[in-house]
Amino acid sequence: MKKTGEVPLGRVLLFVAIALGGALFDLWTKSAIFASVGEPGSPSRSIVPDILELRTSYNTGALWGFMRTVPWAATMFAVLSVVASVGIVVWLFFFRAAKDRRLTIALALIMAGAIGNCYDRLMYGRVRDFVYFHVDKIKFECAIFNFADNMLVLGALMLMFIALKPEAVATPESTPAISEEAAPVS
């Protein structure tokens, strides 16, 4: 029998499926693209001419190359990823925040991205990136990124929307009272 306030097993499974599935997808795509396209400096592959291409790159910093020139950045971001991951699990499952499905999904996406990029930092000392989005006609260029980065950004955006529009919580004032006429007689 489930205790009041306990996180449903389905929430745990949802979190694990998104976090591990997302991380595995990220790592698989990095390996596949680097094997296919080659190491950074190899010719890129156009997917949509003048807009989207596969171009391998290494990033020693964080999202969009933040702090890439700091020599110990990869180690620092790996440690931060582990700390954040532990914090996510504690918050969701020990403090029972996973009762909110939207929060569970958002934090699972962040966990997936953290795992994918942390793995790269620990194994390679840098993160493997390969998606290059640019619009040549307007001279727009985005940093080269990977799917872990996308999951981190999507999870963060979801957290912002959750903070701006929290789920309605039933309160005693919003719950209709049973009138004395309708109440069962004992």
For 77-90, the pLDDT digits (tens) are: 888 889 999 999 99
Indicate the domain borders of the chain.
9-163
- 100 noted as active-site residue: no
| pLDDT the model gives residue 67 | 64
| pLDDT the model gives residue 1 | 44
| pLDDT the model gives residue 41 | 94
Residues of the chain with pLDDT under 50: 1
| pLDDT the model gives residue 5 | 67
Choose, from 26, 100, 136, 149, the residue flagged as catalytic: 149
- 149 noted as active-site residue: yes
Choose, from 26, 50, 100, 129, the residue flagged as catalytic: 129
* Rounded-to-integer distance, Cα 158 and Cα 103, Å: 8
| pLDDT the model gives residue 176 | 54
Q: Which pTM was predicted?
A: 0.81
Q: Tokens 């969009």 map to which residue?
A: 64
* Rounded-to-integer distance, Cα 129 and Cα 143, Å: 9
The answer to whether 146 and 131 are in contact (CB under 8 A) is yes
